[in-house]
Chains A and B, each alone.
Chain A
Amino acid sequence: SQTIHQWPATLVQPVGSPLSLECTVEGTSNPNLYWYRQAAGRGLQLLFYSVGIGQISSEVPQNLSASRPQDRQFILSSKKLLLSDSGFYLCAWSGSSGANVLTFGAGSRLTVL
């Protein structure tokens, strides 16, 4: 069966520090991968998605970036965090065909102080 792992679960970082959140998927090949951010009362905002190694699409201009160095690995990064980057970050995967059903990781809560 497929599983998705996301870490770290919680992170407290000072403004201006770097960020790296990692997500890996097991039990499937060539998944579509996604990073969403959830801010309180605002639903889920799609940040990045990837349909293959090295292929990244950005939905929202910001100081975050994403990379997909391996088929089942998706990384969210920032060189310098802003206060507004605080939130709950969710990684998800879907199959490369069909109804685009998303399977989510447990999430990473980032607090920027």
Chain B
Amino acid sequence: AQSVTQLGSHVSVSEGALVLLRCNYSSSVPPYLFWYVQYPNQGLQLLLKYTSAATLVKGINGFEAEFKKSETSFHLTKPSAHMSDAAEYFCAVSAVSGGFKTIFGAGTRLFVKA
């Protein structure tokens, strides 16, 4: 079984500051890991995914995440926040073994201050 824990339901940063959104996962089999972003009243969009290739994954809009098996973590970072990054971010896990279910974390809302 898989599970995801996102630390911090709300994160606030200043424009231009580092963005760090934390995600820890639990999986009994090798995982696929994802970050999705949701803007208000919209569906989710894929930011990036880890599929057992490179442990540092680059995504859209300057975001990246690093898979750390020893820490069971997949934290999302961006060197310099932009106002347009304000949204809700979801970490998710599914199983490499072919399961069809993707399990989502509770989400972290990112606020960007001018």
**A43 B105 Cβ-Cβ under 8 A:** yes
Min C-beta distance of A48 to chain B, whole Å: 11
Q: How many Cβ-Cβ contacts under 8 Å join chain A to chain B? A: 60
Q: When the two chains form the complex, which single residue of A32, A44, A90, A109 contacts B100, counting CB atoms closer than 8 Å? A: A32
Q: When the two chains form the complex, which single residue of A32, A34, A44, A106 contacts B90, counting CB atoms closer than 8 Å? A: A44
**A90 B101 Cβ-Cβ under 8 A:** no
A46 an interface residue at 8 Å Cβ cutoff? yes
A51 an interface residue at 8 Å Cβ cutoff? yes
A7 an interface residue at 8 Å Cβ cutoff? no
Kindly state the separation between the CA atoms of A99 and B57 in the bound complex, as whole angstroms. Answer: 14
**B104 A43 Cβ-Cβ under 8 A:** yes
Interface residues on chain A, size class: 20 to 34
**B107 A43 Cβ-Cβ under 8 A:** yes
Segment of B14-22, B43-51, B69-77 in the binding face: B43-51
Min C-beta distance of B56 to chain A, whole Å: 17
**A107 B43 Cβ-Cβ under 8 A:** yes
A43-B90, A106-B42, A107-B41 known; A99 vs B104 contact (CB < 8 Å): no
**A46 B103 Cβ-Cβ under 8 A:** yes
**A107 B104 Cβ-Cβ under 8 A:** no
Interface 0/1 of B32-68, CB less than 8 Å to A:
1010100001111110010100000000000000000
Kindly state the separation between the CA atoms of A94 and B95 in the bound complex, as whole angstroms. Answer: 14
Within 8 A of B (CB), among A77-93: 90, 92
Chain B residues near A90: list those with CB within 8 A. Answer: 43-44
A49-B100, A107-B42 known; A99 vs B32 contact (CB < 8 Å): yes
**B102 A100 Cβ-Cβ under 8 A:** yes
**B32 A100 Cβ-Cβ under 8 A:** yes
A101 an interface residue at 8 Å Cβ cutoff? yes
A43-B107, A44-B90, A49-B100 known; A99 vs B43 contact (CB < 8 Å): no
8 nearest A-B residue pairs (beta carbon): A104-B43, A43-B106, A44-B104, A100-B94, A99-B51, A104-B44, A99-B32, A43-B104
